[in-house]
Amino acid sequence: MTNKAEDRTFVRGTALVLATAVALTGTGATAAVAAGRDPQDGLQREVARHVLAVGPPGYLARIDDGRRVQTLAAGVADRNTGRPLTARDQFEAGSNTKTFTAVLILQQVDRGRLTLDAPVEKYLPGVVPNGEKISVRMLLNHSSGLFSYTGDPDFFADMEKDPQHVHTEAELLAIAFAHEPYFPPGQGWQYSNTNYTLLGMILRKQTGKDMPALVEERITRPLGLKHTYFADPRATNTGPGYARGYAITYANGTPQYTDTSNWPIGGWGGAAGAVITTAGDLSRFFSAVLQGRLFSQAQLKQMKTTVPLPADFPIRGGYGLGMFRIDSPCGTVWGHGGDTMGHHSTAVATGDGRRTAVTDVTGEPADLTENPGVQRYYQAIVFGADTVTTCQMLGKPVPADVLGDLRGDTPAAGVTK
């Protein structure tokens, strides 16, 4: 990234902030802890203090280190009523949805209905420019080169002017295809929401069912995920409680908040980012995926076959089929994450799915230009707290430079690359 406008389009439902998950608790936090153990150690209290200090109204986390499960929450779920956030609350999961979509595609491969290396033209004839050169695999691992509609410089500015507009797939593709591709098919890597819009279209054409029905029928019902669904187009089933999301602007020095909870995430995120879930459900989902419970072991191997990420990308590792391999300072984990107009969520797990960490922060920067508040948000949460939690999940000590990012000891200007 070279400026905040690029940074922001990268973040909204994309890859900059997908690295890891955050542990959070602190004074006044609500907490429910398995086996009666108290997770509120000094490091977690410090994480809470620094994360909430940069502006988000609330934060929740679920950490399973293979021995015990900690569920933590701090702050409020609703700034208007002051309702405390709980670890059971539902939230917009953003681009964690991509792993759901990838699972549905790999199930079709198991059924013999799809071939990963077949061209998109075979399944969506006449829809995708150069579609005969772009394979289904390239859509899944972001090597297609197709421009992401969220990368259009007017996309989010237009959304804020008309936040209730429900985009059609045709509108999103028109925005994407008005731009030149990032590179020829298979000749690079660039995160693109357009890829997953197309995968959703393939699924509907093949099955005759839309994404809400497929997610319920083939994922949430088999796994018993009672509080997870695909927003069509808004969050309506708020289950045990709903964590409202807020767009935060920092330009005036003091954070300003816009409640985005009734904005139609399904009307722009779609198959790339419209799942609503809870920390417990998302943990169970990623554990099941990495244990091969939703498709064959052959497809799990395909999912975990990665392409390298660019050298200047904030995450070290690779991208498979709807999932990151993250080579964190404390060890390799797998997962995804996502950002909507009001939420930043993360989900990571060990390769065997036995340890998981899922978090959600109920605020997302909305500034179109760079400023110290935005820089500090990413420094504290993305480069600091997220990595702290991965280390805690893995039972490893946190490196000093990661603690420096959390505390703000390193220059905030170094946040954007």
Give the per-residue pLDDT at 385: 79
| 13 close to 273: Cβ distance less than 8 angstroms | yes
Domain span at residue 79?
A: 4-414
Give the per-residue pLDDT at 66: 93
Give the per-residue pLDDT at 19: 30
Give the per-residue pLDDT at 42: 64
Which residue is catalytic, options 95, 135, 144, 283? 95
| 47 close to 383: Cβ distance less than 8 angstroms | no
| 381 close to 364: Cβ distance less than 8 angstroms | no
296 is catalytic: no
Give the per-residue pLDDT at 388: 86
Side by side, which strands form the sheet with 229-230? 91-92, 275-277, 229-230
Give the per-residue pLDDT at 284: 98
Give the per-residue pLDDT at 410: 67
Q: What is the CATH number of the domain that holds 117?
A: 3.40.710.10
Terminal CA-to-CA distance of the chain, rounded, Å?
5
Give the per-residue pLDDT at 208: 98
Number of domains comprising the chain: 1
User: Distances in Å between the alpha carbon of 403 and those of 94, 407, 408, 409?
Assistant: 27, 6, 8, 8
In whole angstroms, what is the distance from residue 171 CA to residue 157 CA?
16
Give the per-residue pLDDT at 11: 39
Low-confidence ranges of the chain (pLDDT < 50): 1-40, 413-417
Q: What are phi and psi of 276, to 5 degrees?
A: -105, 135
Q: pLDDT (tens digit, 9 = 90+) per residue, 77-105?
A: 999 999 999 999 999 999 999 999 999 99
Give the per-residue pLDDT at 10: 36
What percentage of the chain has pLDDT greater than the value 70? Answer: 87
Tokens 């907490």, residue located: 31
Give the per-residue pLDDT at 22: 28
Give the per-residue pLDDT at 369: 84
Task: Find the helix or strand (DSSP H, E) in which 405 lies.
Answer: helix 400-407
- Global pTM? 0.90
Q: pLDDT (tens digit, 9 = 90+) per residue, 244-301?
A: 999 999 998 899 999 999 999 999 999 999 999 999 999 999 999 999 999 999 999 9
In whole angstroms, what is the distance from residue 183 CA to residue 139 CA?
13
Contact partners, residue 259, CB within 8 Å, separation at least 6: 79, 80, 244, 245, 246, 342
The residue type of 359 is T
In whole angstroms, what is the distance from residue 214 CA to residue 229 CA?
10
Which among 406, 337, 402 has a CA at the least distance from the CA of 11? 337
Give the per-residue pLDDT at 386: 83
In whole angstroms, what is the distance from residue 71 CA to residue 62 CA?
4
In whole angstroms, what is the distance from residue 276 CA to residue 72 CA?
19
Q: pLDDT (tens digit, 9 = 90+) per residue, 352-370?
A: 999 999 989 999 999 988 8
Strands (E), 187-330: 229-230, 246-249, 256-259, 275-277, 307-308, 317-319, 324-328
Cis peptide bond prior to 125, omega within 30° of 0: no
